[in-house]
Structure 1
Amino acid sequence: MSDDAARDDAVPSDKWTKAHADRYDVEGDPMFDPELLAVTTAFLAERAGDGRALEFAIGTGRVAIPLQARGVDVTGIEYAEPMAERLREKSSTIPVVIGDMATTKVEGEFSLVYLVFNTIENLYTQDAQVECFRNAARHLVPGGRFVVEVEVPAVRRMPPGNDAAVFDVTAEHVGLDTYDFVTQRATSHHYVRQDDGRYEYGPHHFRYVWPSELDLMARIAGLRLESRHADWIGSPFTSESDSHVSVWRKDAGD
């Protein structure tokens, strides 16, 4: 996706390519740590109960596959066909529908819809993020839950006058985020070292969103905040938390 396209309000998110999918499942990546996935899937399985789970932006199945291994019936929506194809190579038992998580409808009803690892921010407008909540509510049974894992915007820690924050510096990768404080749009700039010593540049566009803003989106969709935690093990969410796992519940009478 070009930078110009990503700034178009009609574009919901960057679309990941086969190159992204091929290098997504990296051995040693902290996202794939077995202990992290164990607590993540335990949290989600408890909220799913005896019902079905729907993952928005299921990707290559990082969370869905171990969640299914806990006995939860998992279905996914994925925007990028190469990511879904990689999941199909890893599992033949998790159905995946290709589409936008803000608008795509899946057959049936679910006791849990979930969205992990900052992916709500891939929707590049506030309207698209609101529609994502509405789409979650459409899929949920009364009393069902929508779970979102997302960062607390780093802009609150930035000195006045700065619009960029470095988040990673290693010999293999340099990453920094630049922010537009008016639109809440941002770009992650990634410089990845290649085998020949060159650095390849790749941007990722996103729209950061505040916890209170998400709560209002949920209310618009007919959901109510049930709990908010700093992590998947249920640590208290405080003013110092740099991310949160939030649970909104669909009213039983809806």
Structure 2
Amino acid sequence: MSDELNYGEVYAPIYEEYTAVQGKVAEVDQTVAFLERYSSGGSALDLGIGDGRVAAPLSERGVKVEGIDNSCSMLELLAKRTDLIKAWQGDIAHFKTEQRYSLVYCVYFTFTLLVTREAQIDCLRSAAAALDDEGILVIELDVPSSDPRVGGQKTTTVRLVDHENTILNVAVHDPLTQNLVSTLLWFSGTSVRRLPQRVRYVYHQELDTMAECVGLELVERWGDWARGAFTEGSKRHISVYRRSSPSSGDLPRQKRG
């Protein structure tokens, strides 16, 4: 069960503005350059393609990009942005495609919108099945806070403060499911927007274990799209996986973290 559909429908009207404020638009060039390296000039599948923030510029570099999203509203935004990309409505946890891709990727925090461990494993399994023999899976995730968490704990964190915007996140934590049920409060000028969401956070070690369960192995892990080192102070990670027994074409085995 995924909260992607609700997320997409809630965020679609303000998604471009929201991602710009969060700094995601500014790093698109780095994201696309990173992904292009693994596409081998072939095809790519975007899991949770949204409005095409990453997929559109990647396709403009000659990569044949396709995508999946649960949200009709997001897919409408994608269609307005470009006609170069084939995309369909579906659940990224349970999808099948006859096409095999050089690259499958899931960016931002889309993977955590799958709010059970089972759904996350199913997503990895579906992604692995969609890879060609030398295909690569790339996942971007935040590093969960190291602060002690207790059941039912309510937390308020400041996500952003600048001269125009203040974004607060109010969350309730369920440690048994690793779920955070939260509401973003976005103050901009005289307006206040309330944006609910639910995620299942994942530690990078757990992600590696889940990937191994579906026949994937970690190749590289980076701290950002610019290929900075992943360290104990990193706030996120970019993890690169491949099938455990590729037929050919080894990548440099640079496990990080």
| TM-score with structure 2 setting the length | 0.86
Q: How big is each residue's C-alpha offset from its partner over 1:95-137, in whole Å with a ceiling of 9 and x where there is no partner?
A: 0011000112234110100000111100010000000000001
Q: Letter of the aligned partner of 1:97 in structure 2?
A: W
1:81 aligned to 2:81?
no
Query: Which residue does the alignment assign to 2:233?
Result: 240
Kept after mapping to 2: 8 A contact 1:109/1:140: yes
CA distance in 1, matches of 2:157, 2:217: 35
Deviation at 1:140, TM superposition (A): 0.2
The answer to whether the Cα contact below 8 Å between 1:168 and 1:176 also exists between their aligned partners in 2 is no
Deviation track 1:219-252 (CA, whole Å, cap 9, x = no partner) reads 1111110000101111111111110000001131
Comparing 16-25 with 117-126, greater Cα deviation is found at 16-25
- Aligned twin of 1:185: 179
Could you say which residue in structure 1 is the equivalent of 2:132?
A: 141
Quote the Cα distance in structure 2 between the aligned partners of 1:101 and 1:213.
19
Query: Structure 2: which 5+ runs fail to align?
Result: 249-257
Of stretches 125-134 and 175-184 in structure 1, the one that deviates more from structure 2 is: 175-184
Identify the match of residue 218 of structure 2 among 225, 228, 242. 225
Q: Which runs of 5+ in 1 are unaligned?
A: 1-10
For the residues of structure 2 that align with 1:217 and 1:241, how far apart are their CA atoms?
21
Structure 1 residue 13 corresponds to structure 2 residue 6:
no
**Partner Cα separation in structure 2 for residue 64 and residue 169 of structure 1:** 26
| Alignment TM-score, normalising by the size of structure 1 | 0.87
Number of equivalences: 240
Matched with 2:114 is 123
Per-residue deviation, 1:142: 1.2
Alignment partner, residue 175 of structure 1: 169
Instruction: Give the Cα separation in 1 of the matches to 2:4 and 2:149.
Output: 29
Percent identity, aligned pairs only?
A: 33
Question: What's the RMSD between the two structures over aligned residues?
Answer: 2.2
CA 1:205–1:160: 2 relative to 1, 3 Å? closer
Residues 194-209 of structure 1: pairs in structure 2 closer than 5 A? 197=190, 199-209=192-202
| Structure 1 residue 174 displacement after superposition | 2.3
Structure 1 contact 167–177 (Cα < 8 Å) conserved:
no
1:57 positional shift? 0.2
